[in-house]
């Protein structure tokens, strides 16, 4: 593992931030990543964005981060994410995300997310689009400030603090915090039972007190808690090379300046 910054759990498991794995090659290409889980020096990130990665939803768009800086202070990693990128659809050198296209795409995305009857067919359409050269890319825009995220490892728990006080545009609807690794984490468990593979869904709300994702093959997993003042969602998608992620997302209201949670490595 090319070490830039790391938090060692044991000789087999390490959490790290490294330039070699800084960006994905599919739908996450161009986005900054948070903590990546390494198992025996192999990154388990896929097309996920890692643990503790912010995005900001405004009235007309969601802004992501395409640049970040990392420092270390007293065994704590501190990563400052610039909120400076917007997703768009491209075909070769041409942007194809006009108003009509976005209207159709948003409707299909909603059906894909909420209605499992059509998910397989829509997945095949996504695959054909990829073969035809249609890509999800990220256009860098003027930064709307920074979200500072600190990561501190205690045993097998990562304490994550998200501070959005350095944003320059406060008229947003919600702060999103993603916690993703690869789709190899294909066993979901919460207070109500177990789901696997496609049954995990795509950003479905978690109603239990806690939830986890696990890979039987890797013999490792990660879990989070459903915290007051936020909503928790789960998801998983596998359509290599475009999609390869599984994880959780917190949706946090704009009045919350600092949000603290824990990722348990299990």
Q: What is the pLDDT of residues 91-124, one digit of tens each?
A: 677 777 666 556 766 676 777 677 777 777 767 7
Domain holding 240, by residue range, is 5-265
Q: What Rg do the C-alpha atoms of the chain give, in angstroms?
A: 18
Q: Is the pLDDT at 3 greater than 60, yes or no?
A: no
- What is the per-residue pLDDT for 101? 57
- What is the per-residue pLDDT for 189? 98
Q: Is the pLDDT at 249 greater than 90, yes or no?
A: yes
Q: What is the mean pLDDT of residues 193-197?
A: 98
Residue 202, exposed/middle/buried by CB under 10 A (0-12, 13-18, 19+)? middle
Alpha-carbon span 189 to 223, nearest angstrom: 9
- The residues with which 180 forms a beta bridge, in sequence order, are 50, 247
Q: Is the pLDDT at 70 greater than 80, yes or no?
A: yes
Give the DSSP H/E element, type plus range, for residue 185: none
CATH number of the domain encompassing residue 138: 2.70.98
Query: Around Cβ 230, how many Cβ atoms within 10 Å?
Result: 18
Cis peptide bond upstream of 241, omega within 30: yes
The pTM for the full model equals 0.89
- Using alpha carbons, select from 230, 225, 220 the residue that is nearest to residue 255: 230
- Using the 8-state DSSP alphabet, how is residue 116 labeled? G
CA dihedral angle for residue 114, residue 147, residue 151, residue 201, rounded to 10 degrees:
0
Contact 51, 159 (CB under 8 A): no
What total of structural domains would you count in the chain?
Answer: 1
- What is the per-residue pLDDT for 96? 72
């Amino acid at each position: 593992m090319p070490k830039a910054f790391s938090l060692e759990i044991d000789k087999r498991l390490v959490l790290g931030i490294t330039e070699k794995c800084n960006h994905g090659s599919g739908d996450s290409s161009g986005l900054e990543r948070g903590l990546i889980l390494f198992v025996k020096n192999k990154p388990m990130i896929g097309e996920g964005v890692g643990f503790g990665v912010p995005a900001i939803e405004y009235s007309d768009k969601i802004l992501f981060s395409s640049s970040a800086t990392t420092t270390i202070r007293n065994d704590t990693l501190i990563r400052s994410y610039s909120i400076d990128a917007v997703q768009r659809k491209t075909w070769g050198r041409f942007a194809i995300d006009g108003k009509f296209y976005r209207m159709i795409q948003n409707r299909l995305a909603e059906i894909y997310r909420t209605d499992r009857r059509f998910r397989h067919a829509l997945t095949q359409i996504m695959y054909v689009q990829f073969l035809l050269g249609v890509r999800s890319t990220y256009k860098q825009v003027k930064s709307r400030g920074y979200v500072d995220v600190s990561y501190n490892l205690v045993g097998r728990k990562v304490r994550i603090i998200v501070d959005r006080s350095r944003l320059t545009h406060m008229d947003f609807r919600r702060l999103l915090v993603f916690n993703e690794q690869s789709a190899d984490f294909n066993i979901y468990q919460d207070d109500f039972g177990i789901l696997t593979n496609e049954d995990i869904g795509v950003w479905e709300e978690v109603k239990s007190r806690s939830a986890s994702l696990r890979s039987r093959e890797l013999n490792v997993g990660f879990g989070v808690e459903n915290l007051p003042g936020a909503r928790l969602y789960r998801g998983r998608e596998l359509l290599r090379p475009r999609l390869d992620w599984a994880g959780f997302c917190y949706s946090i209201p704009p009045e919350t300046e600092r949000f603290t949670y824990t990722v348990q490595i299990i």
